[in-house]
A and B are shown apart, each in its own frame.
Chain A
Amino acid sequence: MNSAYAIESTGLTRRFGNLTAVDHIDLAIPRERIFGFLGPNGSGKSTTIRLLCGLLTPSEGQVSVLDYRIPEQAEVLKQKIGYMTQRFSLYEDLTVRVNLNFIAQIYRIRKAERRARIEEALATYRLEEMAQQLAGTLSGGQRQRLSLAAATLHRPELLLLDEPTSAVDPQTRRDFWDRLFDLVDAGTTILVSTHYMDEAERCHNLAILDHGRIVANGEPKILMRDMDSDVVEVESDRPRQIARALAHADNIVSVTQLGARQRVLVDKQQGDANGYVRQLLDAAGLQAVCHDAPPSLEDVFVTVTRNTHLPGMS
């Protein structure tokens, strides 16, 4: 019987020479959900995705994807997954329709069904008008829709998307995510990597990666609720001085300027964050209005990635 998880891994590790790109990652990704990898460039998102689909061989650890052992059974798995690379990887010198037809044949979609599936994909992803156009002449958003159409043509159980929206505008990103939820509704499991907070917040579950490790893991809402920092917003007419006064004080996790405001993260173990910030400002002789603010996912991200840079934490 199928396990409850689409992807499971224990101690998944990949080294490139001296660099450990993926460092003992444990994953349990539930079926029919969107699971997000959030992390900065070089945090190991792409490497992890490549390990999961068998493109890279792990240095250590066990992986099971859709109940197949990876990398041993990677070839059988390939029929059941769809993969969208960071970079546009369809043929720019072929038309949209020819590209889709090629992919359909590669996945051995039966001839009787091929035409219907391609028409359906063209309609779903609003590509009908460009069907005869060369893929190389498409805009960023159109290319991305074509890539997703190609990746889902064979109705994969699992979709692996490696920073699919890194080159498109916000409206296109919203449309794209609507399609993803449609796919989940139809029974697909989606693993998506991103460095956009708004996208990460839309995932059912999220793992934050930093230096090849998972530094936080869970539902975005829970991650924000259980964050290890309190948020204080400081409003003043001298924000740069406020920043200098707070930046190096104990238990201050980060200070981020938003226009005239400074968003200050204070470690939870300090307690009474608002009072602590005011105390620091008074000591520096600075006037400001301080109020508490609800945490955002970016705050979570800043808090958890800070921890990995401190000794003895993980």
Chain B
Amino acid sequence: MNLSLTRLLAILVKELQQLRRDRLTFGMIVGIPLLQILLFGYAINTDVRHLSAAVADQSATQLSRRLVADMEATQVIDVIGRVATAAELKALLDSGEINIGILIPPDFERRLQQKGRRAAQLMIDGSDPIILSTARSLTNMTFNRRSNERRTSADELFEVRNYYNPERRSSVFVVPGLIGVILTMTMVLFTAVSIVRERERGNLELLINTPVTTAELMIGKIVPYIVIGLVQVTLIMLLGSLLFRVPVNGLLVDVYLVSLVFIAANLGLGLVISTLAKNQFQAMQMTFFFFLPSMLLSGFMFPFEGMPTAARYIAELLPLTHFLRLIRGIMLRGVEMMHMANDIYALLLFMLASIGLAILRFKKRLD
């Protein structure tokens, strides 16, 4: 082996000199660890608290009020609403406004006296396994009927009704989310490199000298990938259904409509990246920088409910967060798309803003 120290040093120093010029890579060296530490350290919390709950207290006694107060004291739930009937609780669960419904029947006090009888009911959105296990921890809660008396833990206080994923299969929960993750990964990258690549290859100088308009160029770059994205959606749905028996409880057309808007939003973001990046490598770096928080904060890997407020605000800016709510609602809870209109509007807004920004940023000029 022939190793010249001079040549080795020459390459080593050249590498560092080039790195110094590449500000983005330099930023990634600092930015990625910083982002990861912050996300994992602060935002991600598998010890979920403050699940949204609603109460239907049909007993309306001092004891039932104390039960609810004790449950709130555990900090596992936040009671955000009170309704009259089980059906109303179910509707709130369907719309995704609450994770847990607490149904206290009129004969609550009598049931409490009888050994072996469940005194009340927990209606749980069981689609997210982490939320389900947290909610079930409430059933082990001790509750003093009288100040000196205790039910044994063997006598469970609640009957648990697990909605949307009664078999508690995690694949049922993961597959719809996976649609969003896969689309984010592929769609943003498709358009992120598209304009940069044309600029690198010299095609763009020719193109901007023709009568082609910016809108034609941008929309022409988006539409083919929408079709590709929808093919991907179909593929994931087919595999999910065949291999894991993932249900589509809502309307299939809703699944596709929501996916379509989400795909366009991601493609638009890719175009914005494409107008910012100087080369394909930079475009990929930027895509990755967007993908990381999407993956961790959107609720795909860790429940949204466990995150601090600041992280939730950031998550609300990510299209994947809204898409996950929609697709899980449609596929698992069978909700109609328009019952989650806010998330649809958020995606539409993101789509229009990103495509608009890309069109504004792109100049048919070289200066």
Chain A residues within CB distance 8 Å of chain B: 50, 53-57, 71, 74-75, 78-79, 81, 83, 85, 87-92, 103, 106-108, 150
Contacts and interface: CB of A to CB of B under 8 A. Distances in A.
A16 B211 CA distance: 26
Nearest to A88: B202
Interface in B190-231: 201-213
- Chief secondary structure at chain B's binding surface: loop
A87 B211 contact: no
A106 B202 contact: no
Contacts, number: 53
B110 interface: no
B21 interface: no
Given A55-B365, A57-B365, A78 B210 contact: yes
Contacts of A103: 210
Nearest to A92: B201
Interface residues of B, number: 17
Interface of B: 201-213, 364-367
B210 to A, nearest CB: 5
B212 A87 contact: no
Contact of A85 (B206, B212, B367): B206
30 contacts: A50-B366, A54-B365, A55-B205, A55-B208, A55-B209, A55-B364, A55-B367, A56-B366, A56-B367, A57-B365, A57-B367, A75-B213, A78-B209, A78-B210, A78-B211, A79-B211, A83-B206, A85-B202, A85-B206, A88-B202, A89-B202, A89-B203, A89-B204, A89-B205, A92-B201, A103-B210, A106-B207, A106-B212, A107-B210, A150-B206
A33 B203 CA distance: 28
Contacts of A107: 210-211
Contacts of A88: 202
9 A-B pairs closest in CB distance: A89-B206, A83-B209, A89-B202, A87-B202, A78-B211, A79-B211, A55-B366, A106-B210, A56-B367
Nearest to B206: A89
Contacts of A74: 364
Which of B201, B204, B206, B365 has the most chain A CB atoms closer than 10 A to its own CB?
A: B206
Contacts of B206: 83, 85, 89-90, 150
